[in-house]
Amino acid sequence: MELLLVDASPSRAHHDAQQSGSSALQVEGALLLSGVVTSTVLEIGALGGSVEVRAPALPLTVSPTVRFQSVGLSILVRDCNAAIGWATGDRPFTIRWRDEYGKAHLDRAGDFGRSMARSLIRYTDDVCGPRNR
């Protein structure tokens, strides 16, 4: 099971920050079945508690006939020191899922490209203050 971060909505994050005092970055993601066994994603989390991840559409099932499912995520920074260290290739999330045989799995997840990395950097800079580059 793979989680791909595809697109972020920074304008929504900025609006949320002004309205509530804390900001959540809205991210469009995709769940991709990399195997041949129907699987249900139960939870998406973050390594080390650096962010809180909300995925209201979960649980979500992905099967060999429908290998791709869109998923919306809300990401909220909880630990600036940990979050500002993210880089492309880090896979900073965890994904908890169960296969069709009932076996539970917990994997690192969250592949993203340069565009998403820039969105994550802008978001953490907005929430935590600019970092030294």
- Whether residue 106 is contained in a domain is answered as yes
Residue 52 counted as domain residue: yes
Distances in whole angstroms, Cα of residue 69 to Cα of each of 11, 30, 84, 126 = 24, 6, 28, 30
pLDDT of residue 10: 58
Domains: count for the chain: 1
Q: Which of 44, 34, 13, 24 is nearest to 106 (CA)?
A: 44
CATH number at residue 66: 2.60.40
- Take residue 131 and report the two structure tokens written for it: 């970092």
pLDDT confidence of residue 86 = 66
Of 92, 100, 97, residue with least CA distance to 116: 92
Output the pLDDT for position 88: 60
**Per-residue model confidence (pLDDT) at position 128:** 85
Residue 15 within any structural domain of the chain: yes
Tokens of 42: 């139960």
Buried b (16+ CB within 10 A) or exposed e, 37-76: ebbbbbebbbbeebbebebeebebebeeeeeebebebbbb
Per-residue pLDDT, 93: 86
Tens-binned pLDDT, residue by residue, of the chain (133 aa): 899 999 998 544 444 444 444 578 999 999 999 889 999 999 999 877 778 999 999 999 999 999 999 999 999 988 887 776 666 667 788 999 999 999 999 999 888 888 888 888 888 888 888 765 4
2 residue type, one letter = E
Does a structural domain hold residue 133?
Answer: no
**Residue 26 belongs to a domain:** yes
Model's pTM, two decimal places?
Answer: 0.81
Determine, yes or no, domain membership for 81.
Answer: yes
Domain with 119 in it: 2-128
pLDDT at 131: 64
